[in-house]
Amino acid sequence: MTASLQHRTDCVSGIDTVAVVGMGALGVMFADRIVQRVGADKLCFLMDGARLARHGDGACRVNGAEKRFRVCRPEDVGPVDLLIFATKFGGLAEAMDQVAPAVGEDTVLISLLNGIITEDILAERYGRARVVDCVAIGMDAMRAGSEISYQNMGRLQIGARVPEQGRALERLAVFLARAGVPFELPADIIRAMWNKFMINVGINQTCMVYGVPYAVARGGGEAYASMVAAMREVIPLARAEGVRLTEEDLKADLQLLAGLNPDGYPSMRQDAMAGRRSELELFAGTVLRLARQHGLPAPVNERYRAAIQEMERDLPKRPGEG
């Protein structure tokens, strides 16, 4: 914690109660850290009746250790101080409806979801002042059944794009420091979000198309070259959108990816292995939409999108998909 944040611990309205919606790898990983530092009675996972019937005991294993989290219906909890969205993108709209009773006038909201549009969706529903822009980066958490495993927890990058988010950002930063959750305050949160988007466009889609683990990021071969090329297509799109991404960012991202568990898989590959439809439209879909808008080429992402669409041709659609 910086000296300035330490000074504000006593003068910023604190975060005491936390709720998480989405019991996937990231939600559980960060919830486990918060519970260890803040207390099990301060955090719960929110679920509707059907999910509560399936996961009502809150039991899972994190890196081999038995864990049991509180699981509650939103209407039984009431407004919380911090609400963390950790669902898949296709479930976000439903989740926002379901957790409405947990959102109060002073609730801070963050998203661990992939992509670059989630904060705008939350802000449209709840107002920009309560939504802190957030990027989850550098982690290699996976979930298989009730087993969550990771070697790298990574960190959260948090920030405010407009002044009215400042109070929520201060409250969140103080809480994350108290909870022992690694975080950074980048000078330009939008640039940080685009940088994570570039990482996902590369590693997520490459691992799915080629059926490979994170080891692909250690270099060499067709899959690695394709990953780098897909990431490189994001740079001119970012610049067209007024965001300064560079080749140096890409090089730093490749170093970060090379440090992940070589036997692990990102979320899209995990979806493929579980027979679920992936978040393709958040990655190649977004790249191609912006490429058309700005008249820029994106041939690798075109190939990725076509390949993944074929892989998913017979899978049921996610909620909200046409």
What's the average pLDDT block by block, 10 residues per block, for the chain (322 residues)? 42 82 94 95 90 78 95 93 94 93 96 92 95 95 92 96 96 97 96 96 97 93 97 98 97 95 93 90 95 98 97 73 46
Rounded Cα distance between 120 and 281, Å, is: 16
What are the structural domain ranges in the chain? 3-186, 190-311
Residue type at 38 in one-letter notation: V
pLDDT of residue 50: 76
Side-chain-facing half-sphere of 126: CA atoms under 13 Å: 29
Distances (CA, A) of 175 to 37, 55, 127, 321: 11, 27, 21, 36
Distance spanning both ends of the chain, measured CA to CA: 46
CATH superfamily of 3-186: NAD(P)-binding Rossmann-like Domain (3.40.50.720)
Closest Cα to residue 21, out of 46, 50, 54?
46
Residue type at 169 in one-letter notation: L
The answer to whether domain 3-186 and domain 190-311 are alike in fold is: no
Residue 299, Cβ density class (10 Å: 0-12 exposed, 13-18 middle, ≥19 buried): exposed
Which CATH number among 1.20.1070.10, 3.80.10.10, 1.10.620.20, 1.10.1040.10 corresponds to the domain 190-311?
1.10.1040.10
* Residue 141 near residue 26, CB atoms below 8 Å: yes
pLDDT of residue 56: 67
